[in-house]
Amino acid sequence: MKNILMFCVLLSSVVFAQEVKVGNILEKYMQAWNEHDRNKIETFYAQDVIWYDLGYDYETKGKNKVSKAITEAFLSNVDGMYWVKNGDIFTDGDTIIYEWVYGGKFHGTYDGKEIQNKAFSIKGISTTTVDKNGKIVSQKDYYDLCNFKKQLGLE
């Protein structure tokens, strides 16, 4: 009985340590985004990372392609960009699922329409999975694209 109890304690310690590791990586990753540091953001991705964007039902593979696509999508036309966790956070081993809010002021062309300094704020959920080296191997983003378009005056 004592051995079983000790095994359970050790197992829960390993699981908790992994959950803390994923959470710490996510905190630093989000900090790089909020610093708008494209080079720093890229350092979080594994070479074989996959990014899925539900808003456009599009998947991108590979560190260089993901880094370019994801930062172009969420940084290029947004002044004062912020991305913060809010709401529920679930961790299972090397994967963390979390709610967030993303926003700022959009400027540029979207859906063929020129938009200048339109404030927006949208909610979403992401899953982030890291490998044994602490690099992101999977990033899946699910967010309210319709609300984003409404806030930009497109719908």
Name the burial class of residue 30, with classes exposed (0-12), middle (13-18) and buried (19+) by CB atoms within 10 angstroms of its CB: buried
pLDDT in tens, 60-93: 999 999 999 999 999 999 999 999 999 888 999 8
Q: Residue 3: its pLDDT value, please? A: 52
Number of domains in the chain: 1
Which portions of the chain are predicted below pLDDT 50?
A: 4-20
CATH code of 113's domain: 3.10.450.50
Residue from 51, 30, 72, 80 nearest 142 by CA: 51
Q: H helices within 35-140, ranges in order?
A: 38-42, 63-74
**Two tokens, residue 93:** 């081993």
Alpha-helical regions (H) of 1-155: 2-34, 38-42, 63-74, 145-151
> 25 CB contacts (<8 Å, ≥6 apart)?
44, 128, 130, 134, 136
Token pair belonging to 105: 């002021």
pLDDT of 107: 95
> In which domain, by residue range, is 24 found?
2-151
Neighbours of 104 (CB within 10 A): 19
User: Quick one: pLDDT at residue 12?
Assistant: 37
- What pTM does this model have? 0.83
Instruction: Say what the pLDDT of residue 1 is.
Output: 55
Distance CA 61, CA 67 (A): 10
